[in-house]
Every structure is written in structure tokens, then in C-alpha cells.
Structure 1
Amino acid sequence: MGIVSQEAIKQFQTLMDQVDEPLKRTFQNVHQGYPLETFGRFLKAREWNVAKAHKMLVDCLNWRVQNEIDNILAKPIVPTELYRSVRDSQLIGLSGYSREGLPVFAIGVGLSTFDKASVHYYVQSHIQINEYRDRIILPSASRKYGKPITTCVKVLDMTGLKLSALSQIKLLTIISTIDDLNYPEKTNTYYIVNAPYIFSACWKVVKPLLQERTRKKVQVLSGCGKDELLKIMDYGSLPHFCKREGSGSSRHSQNGAENCFSLDHHFHQQLCNYIKQQSLIKQPVHPMKQGSFHVDVPEPAAEGTQIAKTIESEFNKFGNGNGLSDSLDDLKINGD
């Protein structure tokens, strides 16, 4: 870490020492014993401008207090059938760890339909996974590997990406905005696998719109990406859709223990059990009620809005102008 960045972190820390007590309490849930690394993440997200990074973090902490984010891991999505529907249509899971100890999160972008519950449930589920990652997974990895581990890697499976994905743009923009403003710089690298031609075309247009630090994080791999991913993780940590060419992602696997998207996978079982236990501790008297956990979603930044509009425009070109159809999903691209 350079002298300039060290000085910026020192200034940031001085400013944060002055915030009110409620913000200091929720900040403990954010930094989990690694405040300097957290200051570094917010500074990086604001190009090392201390004033902007301070405002961003204070806004994040206020958002957490106002929306009771510290208690979201005590708010189960019930009944179980509803939560299973959410998991079957919002494909995400923890497949393992990189050799450096970073958690490997798998995301089924192409086959996530987000059509089994209201937007609020998907947002709640997403934030719960973020919070479980930050409060349980990352601290546990830090203890195991004997060093601060505050970021993860994500493997995005584009199998099944279709023009109908346009219907998800609004929800994905909401989730992206929440992450950008409240969980900045938590992902070390995004690996894109099983990418169809339609993704390749959109990526060429969207890539120049991204900030340089974001562009550098995205790697589009050839096919299922197995050979490249094995350079940074063991075979057992590969997401199931990367273990053989052409296997792709699937909502349901005969072996739930291997399919990290499945509610039967040990990651989701541990997450569910943790949320259930926390709900009993926080609300031992009151029965669990069905109902989503609503959070305020800030307006997306101009960059995010522009990217969403560009993606929508490119998808529409495929549907209307070029005579291309969802059959393009069968075409693969090589990593750029």
C-alpha cells in the first residue's frame, strides 16, 4: 500500500471516529474486525477521494440503520416452499474456495428467471447472502488462512441467456445498485463462462462504459472455463457447470450436494439453519410470519442507468433488427 493510500485511510479513519454511535455499531457488522481494509474498499470505489468515500460509507451506514440490515439474517423467507421457489429461480451458491482462500460464488445468470416471487423477496435473499458472506463466510476464511480475506470471486454461468432476460433488467439494476453503494469492491474477479453469442455482442458495447477498475475484474473464459479456473482453485471448488464441457448450468441436479444452486447443497442448508437460529434468538416469542423484508433502494448511478439502457438496446437489436433469435444461445465464444 502506497504512502498516498495510507494517508487517505488515516484521514478516513479520523472522519469515521466522529460519526454517531448507531453508525459505529452497524459499522462493526460491515468491517468484521478489518476496518482499514473496509476504508480501502470504499476509497477504491471513489477513486481514493476521501470526502466522497466518507460520504459513501456514511450513506451506507444510514441505509443499514434505516432498513434494519443488521437484523436481516434473523428474517427467514417462509414458508420453505416459497424459499425453495426463490432458490430455484435466483441461481446462486458457494462452490468452494480459491487457493488463496477467497470464497467462490457461482451465479446462474442465464437460467435465473426471477419469476417465482415478488421483487422484495429476491432483494431480501440477495442481501442475506451478502450479509452471510461478510459476517460468516469471510471471517471464517480469514481465521482459517491466517490473513484478512475480505473479497470473493464470482463465476457467472451464461448458459441459457435469452432475449427474455430483458424482463430482468429492472431487478438486476436494483440489486446492482445495492451492491455498488453498500457492498463496494467485494468481488475480486468475475469469470464469465458458457457465454453465448448474444453475450459477446452486448459485452463489446457495454465494456467501454465500465470504469477501468471494473473492466479489469471481468474475464470472459472459453467454454465452461475449467482449464483457466483450475489455475486458481482445486477441482472440488469448481462450480458444477464448469466441471465438463457442454454441461452448462441447471436449476435441478440429481445430486443436490454437488449443485451449489440447490437448496439441498450444504451452503444453503447452513445459511437456512443460521437464519432460522437467529430468528429464534431475536424473536423467541413471536411466530415467523410470511412477508418479505422491504428495503429502500437508492436511485442507480448514471453509469448504471446508462449500462442498463445499453444492454436493453442491444438485446432489442437482436430481437428486432438482425433477425436473430434465442437459438443464438447455442453459439459459444472464446475468451477475449
Structure 2
Amino acid sequence: MAGVSHEAIYQLKALMDQVDEPFKRTFQNVHQGYKVETLERFLKARDGSVTRAHKMLLDCLKWRLENGIDDILSKPIVPINFYRGVRDSQLIGVSGYTREGLPVFAIGVGLSSFVKASIQYYVQSHIQINEYRDRVLLPAATKKTGRYVGKCVKILDMSGLKLSALNQIKLLTAISTIDDLNYPEKTTTYYIVNVPYVFSACWKVVKPLLHERTRLKVQVLQGSGRDELLKIMDYSSLPHFCRKEGTRASRRVGNTSEDCFSLDHPFHQQLYNYMKKQSGICAPTRPLKHLEMPVADIKKAEFCRTIESELKRIQSQDELTRLYDIHISD
């Protein structure tokens, strides 16, 4: 396996075979029968170090147990109208699959407002989508393709990105830290599309702070990225914001069944119905009030401080703001 030695995988497997219940049970929910591939992911996330990967994996399992992650898919956010508000302000969805069978996750970075609920609900929703991906979507993709599918691709829509995004750094950092620590190496490529001027200015500062592994996965595409993305997926799998070029490329579409962010989209209907079935009840379920919020590491804290500083710098420069407004109105 490229990047990780067989000996390292063997050593980590031997260590994980020694864990007791309930760690063993929650580990099964992580690897879904693909233990070697899961061990490889954690080893890659820790540069092949068995000791560090073992600690990372144990910390992940402890986090899952302390926060009830194994049962999170049986805790839908209700009532449905409230959950619709969460979906309308935390734009994420699955638009289809690549030709290799990888799920295509679409994320509306620029237009997500996160104003319809507390941070706890958004974190809960994000984890539920992660778990549904790992326990339902990826196993189904593996069965359909006849080979192991353990990762996805993500398309990040930056249209509508404003300087007010600074206000959401705390939430976005919590979500990205959860992914870094507990769902490592689950994305093959991050495609960034519909980039406004403000993104270009910040990216020059942010890029050097990212780990080399992450930088190599990021591809900033021209415009909506349609032509490039059609090389790896069919048109039907493109997110709605990638299907057209121009200023209207990323607006929400009238047909909600084609808008992969909408609760009426087949992916979200299937996800919500699955969670409701798992819950076995229709009574309101409280959010995970004791969900532990992760603490960002030193590098990520530096990352956020740099973004904040750069956004404030841009915000204070009237000329850049004027150019940004002209760019959006074109």
C-alpha cells in the first residue's frame, strides 16, 4: 500500500486486536469490515508512525464512546421544519457519484449562513452526514462497484463568499477538527469552484499553512468547474452550481429535487428517513448536549488567526471591497 508499509499496518493491527469492549465494538462501526484500509488511513494521517496512529485511533474511539457517536444516526433533528432550517443554512449534499463510484459531496461554503440553530445542531448534523456516508453510502458503493470504496470527493462552492464568513470561524474550525481527528483521509480531492476575489486574496495566505497532504488534494477550478469535473463524472452527478457558467451558476435552483442542498433532494430524504427509522420513534429528540467540542491544535489555531487577520485587513481596504463588489455584479 503506497505511503504506508505492510509492517506498520501489521503492528497497528496487533495493537488494535488487544483493545477490549466497548472499544472493539465502536471500532467495528469505524472500519465496517475493512480493518486494514482503516488502519492505513490513520497511519497516513500520522505519517506512518505506528505509535502516533495508535494514539490517534484510541482517542477517536474514546471520543465516539463519550459522545454516543455509534447511536447518532438514531437521533434525528426534529421537528422536520426545524431541520429544514438547518439544511437551508448549512449547505451540504450529495449530487451523485464519480465514474469510479466515489460519492460526490457538494458544499456551499459561500452561501451557508449557520443562523437557524445553535452550533450544537450544526455539529450534530455534520457528524450524522459523516456517519451516514461511512456506514451506508460507502458500503453501498463498495457493493455496487465490486471493489472497496472508502473515500469521497468534495466540491466546494465559494460563490457568495463574504467577509462576514469571519463570524463562522469557530464553528468551521470545530467541524474541520472533528474531521481531521476522527475521519482522516476520507476525501481524495477538494475541488473549489466559483471563486470570488476575496477567496483569491485569502488563499495566498492560507495555502502555506495547510499540511502538504491537504494542499495536494486541493484543486481550484476555473468558473463553475464544469468542464474539468465532467472528466471524472457524468453531467447528472454535477452539483447544480456546476452545471452552468456565469453569474447564475451557483444560485439555488427552482426544482428542489435537483438542488442537492435542499431537504427535498433524494439524498436528504433518504438520510432523514433512515435516521427516523433508526430512532424508532417520532417524539422530539434533543441534540447531543454533551457532545464534546474538539480543541484545535496549534497549527489550526494559527490558521484561524491568520484568516481572521487577513479578512480584517481586506475589510479595512475600501478599494479591495469595491473591486470585490464589481466582480460579483459582473
Relative to the length of structure 2, the TM-score reads 0.96
Query: Contact 2:4–2:44 (CA<8 Å) still a contact in 1?
Result: no
Give the Cα separation in 1 of the matches to 2:273 and 2:97: 21
Give the Cα separation in 2 of the matches to 1:112 and 1:249: 12
Q: Which whole-Å deviations, capped at 9, do the CAs of 1:81-119 have from their partners, x for residues lacking one?
A: 110000000000000001111100000000000011000
* Number of aligned positions between the proteins: 326
Give the Cα separation in 2 of the matches to 1:266 and 1:330: 37
Matches within 5 A, 1:1-336: 1=1, 5-246=5-246, 247-250=248-251, 252-280=252-280, 284=281, 288-294=283-289, 295-321=291-317, 323-325=319-321, 328=324, 331=327
Q: 1:325 Cα deviation (Å)?
A: 2.2
Gaps of 5+ in 2: none
Instruction: Indicate how the Cα distance of structure 1 residues 109 and 71 shifts in structure 2: closer, same or farther if over 3 A, else same.
Output: same
Q: 1:232 Cα deviation (Å)?
A: 0.6
Query: Contact 2:151–2:186 (CA<8 Å) still a contact in 1?
Result: yes
Query: Contact 2:240–2:258 (CA<8 Å) still a contact in 1?
Result: yes
Structure 2 letter corresponding to 1:41: R
Mean CA deviation greater in 153-162 or 203-212: 203-212
Q: 1:201 Cα deviation (Å)?
A: 1.1
Give the Cα separation in 2 of the matches to 1:30 and 1:197: 39
Q: Which whole-Å deviations, capped at 9, do the CAs of 1:48-90 have from their partners, x for residues lacking one?
A: 1110000000000010011110000000101111100000000
Give the Cα separation in 2 of the matches to 1:248 and 1:70: 38
Query: Contact 2:75–2:285 (CA<8 Å) still a contact in 1?
Result: no
In structure 2, the residue corresponding to 1:100 is in which secondary structure?
A: coil
Instruction: Indicate how the Cα distance of structure 1 residues 258 and 21 shifts in structure 2: closer, same or farther if over 3 A, else same.
Output: same
Give the Cα separation in 2 of the matches to 1:62 and 1:180: 15
Runs of 4+ in 1 over 4 A off after TM superposition: none
Q: 1:257 Cα deviation (Å)?
A: 1.1
Give the Cα separation in 2 of the matches to 1:329 and 1:191: 24
Give the Cα separation in 2 of the matches to 1:80 and 1:132: 18
In structure 2, the residue corresponding to 1:47 is in which secondary structure?
A: coil
In structure 1, the residue corresponding to 2:22 is in which secondary structure?
A: helix
Query: Contact 1:95–1:106 (CA<8 Å) still a contact in 2?
Result: yes
Query: Contact 2:4–2:40 (CA<8 Å) still a contact in 1?
Result: no
In structure 2, the residue corresponding to 1:331 is in which secondary structure?
A: helix
Structure 1 letter corresponding to 2:284: K
Give the Cα separation in 1 of the matches to 2:189 and 2:267: 21
In structure 1, the residue corresponding to 2:188 is in which secondary structure?
A: strand
Give the Cα separation in 2 of the matches to 1:326 and 1:176: 31
Structure 2 letter corresponding to 1:320: S
Give the Cα separation in 1 of the matches to 2:30 and 2:4: 24
Q: Which whole-Å deviations, capped at 9, do the CAs of 1:120-168 have from their partners, x for residues lacking one?
A: 0000000000000000000000000011100000000000000010111
Mean CA deviation greater in 103-112 or 3-12: 3-12
Gaps of 5+ in 1: none
Q: 1:303 Cα deviation (Å)?
A: 1.6
Q: 1:290 Cα deviation (Å)?
A: 4.7
- The sequence identity of aligned pairs, in percent, is 65
